[in-house]
Structure 1
Amino acid sequence: MAHSSTNTPAAKHVAGPVMPSESELVEFDHSAAGHQGISSNASGSLLIKPCTQAEIDFYESAKDHPLFQAHMPTFIGSLSQHEDQEAVKPLLQEAATTSTVTAAVPNNQDSVDNDNGNAAVADPTSTMPELVKRTSWKPSGGKKLSTGLAIVLENVTAGFKQPNILDVKLGARLWDDDAPQAKRRKLDEVSQRTTSGSLGFRVAGMKLWCGPETTAMVGDQTPKDNKHEDKQEQTQQDNLPNGSSSNNNSNNSPDEPESNVEYKRGYKSYTKLYGQSFTKDNVVDAFTTYLGGVRSDETTGKPVFRRKHAPLIAKRLIRELESIQYSLENEESRMYSASVLMVYEGDESALESALEEEEKERNGQTEDDDQDGRKEEKENEKAEEEEEEDDDDGDDIVPQKVHEVRLIDFAHASWTPGQGPDENALQGVRSLIGILKGLLDE
Structure 2
Amino acid sequence: MSDVDQKVSEYYSKLLKRNAGEPEFHQAVAEVLDSLKIVLEHDPHYADYGLIQRLCEPERQIIFRVPWVDDQGQVQVNRGFRVQFNSALGPYKGGLRFHPSVNLGIIKFLGFEQIFKNSLTGLPIGGGKGGSDFDPKGRSDQEIMRFCQSFMTELHRHIGEYRDVPAGDIGVGGREIGYLFGQYRRLTNEHESGVLTGKGLNWGGSLVRTEATGYGCVYLTEEMMKANGDSLQGAHVIVSGSGNVAIYAIEKAQQLGATVVGFSDSSGWVHTPEGVDVELLKQIKEVERGRVGDYVKHADNATFHEDGSVWDLEAAVALPCATQNELDESHAKNLVDKGVAYVAEGANMPCTPEAIEAFQKAGVHFVPGKAANAGGVATSALEMQQNATRDSWSFEYTDERLQEIMKNIFRATADTAAQYGHENDYVVGANIAGFKKVADAMLAQGVI
TM norm. shorter chain > 0.5: no
- Bigger Rg, structure 1 or 2: 1
Which structure carries more relative contact order (alpha carbon 8 Å, separation 6+)? 1
Greater percentage in helix: 2
TM-score between the two structures when normalised by the length of structure 1:
0.25
